[in-house]
A and B are shown apart, each in its own frame.
Chain A
Amino acid sequence: MSSLALFLIFLRAAALSVGGQGALPLLREDLVNTGVLTEGQVLEALAIGRIAPGPTGLYIVSLGYFAGGIGGALIAVAAASLPPIAMIVVAGTLRRWLVTAWVAGLVRGVALSSTGLLIATAIRLLAPEQSFFDLPLWQLVLAAVGVVLTIDGRIHPGLVLALGALVGVALGR
């Protein structure tokens, strides 16, 4: 895939999403369905993004790296930064207009769409090559633990992932 094509994929995903995680369904579709990455690599990128400090949306760094090395990582960051940078300019000049009911509705529509898309994407990533119900019970339990502890938000995400990795080492061989 060319650098320009990669740039446009990350730019489009960021421009059509709320929050860094919201870009995931579009990125998965564009990168996995075209054979650039596998579902497993997307899952790996999510895990690394959760361990790394800074914005949680920086799982795109790993996606870009997997697609095109360090250059790919930098392209991903540059492209994904443009919409929020544009927002800085817009927010600086149109602060009052941005808190209207219309804009709230538009953002709510994108956020709720992202909710449905993200959960569907999570299920696809969890069971890319088999039915969701054919997964081992311990993996389903770990996924459920990930859901609950993320909503709760009190335990460090790195610790939650480490717990999963330990269980994987014990049961996944």
Chain B
Amino acid sequence: MSLLDLARGWIVVATQSVGGGPATLLLIRREFVQRRAWLTQRQFLEDYALSKIGLGINLITMAGLVGSRVAGLRGVAVSLVALLAPAVAIAVGLTAGYVFIRESAAVRAALAGAGPVAAGMTAGFALSLARQSVRRGRRAVADYAFAVLVFGASLFAGLSPLVVIPLGMLVGTLLLRGESTRASGEVGG
């Protein structure tokens, strides 16, 4: 094992994974469980489960946990830099390029189509998140009902996320306990 090889693994994930979800998960498993055998399947799944209950971007947590197993604190630092530096550089490049051409008529027309798709993809992600988070059996009805209630409160009553999210934490802790979530977000997110 070398730190350089660890960095290579995360650079592959950073540059080849698009859209998060199972594809990203398979890529991480291929790089670190199958190709390099630095993690067992069980360790990989444990880190995956822990990354899903973390706040913010799950893939950053996942990279840090894997790096920690492989090379301690230095592994964490190398993994985070190798994951974020190329991905951020590409995102900045794409954004800067877009700003350069955004005023052209063709780009405005393309955005009139790509914009609704992007909004739909956000809603699709949200529905996947709900499906992966609800409990099994009848309790799923209560879980979905809570999500619908939040949707209505936000869209029709204009309730701020700053109110809704702490409320969700409280309701979840008191009323939605039970089995561990199957997923609380895409690992790629």
Report, as a range, how many residues of chain B touch the other chain: 35 or more
The 10 closest A-B pairs by CB, nearest first: A109-B172, A168-B113, A146-B120, A54-B87, A19-B185, A150-B124, A116-B150, A113-B168, A172-B112, A164-B117
Bound-state Cα–Cα, A57 to B91, Å: 11
Instruction: Give Cα distance in the complex from A87 to B176, angstroms.
Output: 22
- Which residue numbers of A lie inside 8 Å of B, CB to CB? 14-26, 29, 40, 43-58, 61-62, 65-66, 70, 73-74, 77, 80-88, 90-92, 95, 98-99, 101-126, 135, 139-140, 142-151, 153, 156-158, 160-173
- Chain B residues with CB under 8 A of A55: 20, 57-60, 83, 87, 188-189
> In the complex the two chains form, is B122's CB within 8 Å of A24's CB?
yes
Smallest Cβ-Cβ distance to A138: which chain B residue: B113
Residues in B with CB closer than 8 Å to A105 are 172-178
Residues of B within 8 A of A172 (CB): 108-113
Report the minimum CB–CB distance from B185 to chain A (whole Å): 3
Contact B56 A23 (CB under 8 A): yes
Q: Is the interface of B mostly helix, strand, loop or mixed?
A: helix
Distance of A54 Cα from B108 Cα, bound (Å): 26
CA separation between A165 and B99, bound complex, in Å?
Answer: 16
Task: Say whether B189 contacts A56, CB under 8 Å.
Answer: yes
B92 in contact (CB, < 8 A) = yes
- Tell whether B153 is near chain A: CB-to-CB under 8 Å: yes
Shortest Cβ distance from B105 into A: residue? A173
Within 8 Å CB of A117, what residues of B?
Answer: 150-151, 154, 161, 164-165
How far apart sit A168 and B113, CA to CA, in the bound complex (Å)? 4
Instruction: Choose from B124, B128, B180 the contact partner of A104 (Cβ within 8 Å).
Output: B180
Q: Nearest Cβ in chain A — how far from B32, in angstroms?
A: 16
Shortest beta-carbon distance, A66 to chain B, in Å? Answer: 7
**Shortest distance between the CB of A44 and any CB in chain B (Å):** 7
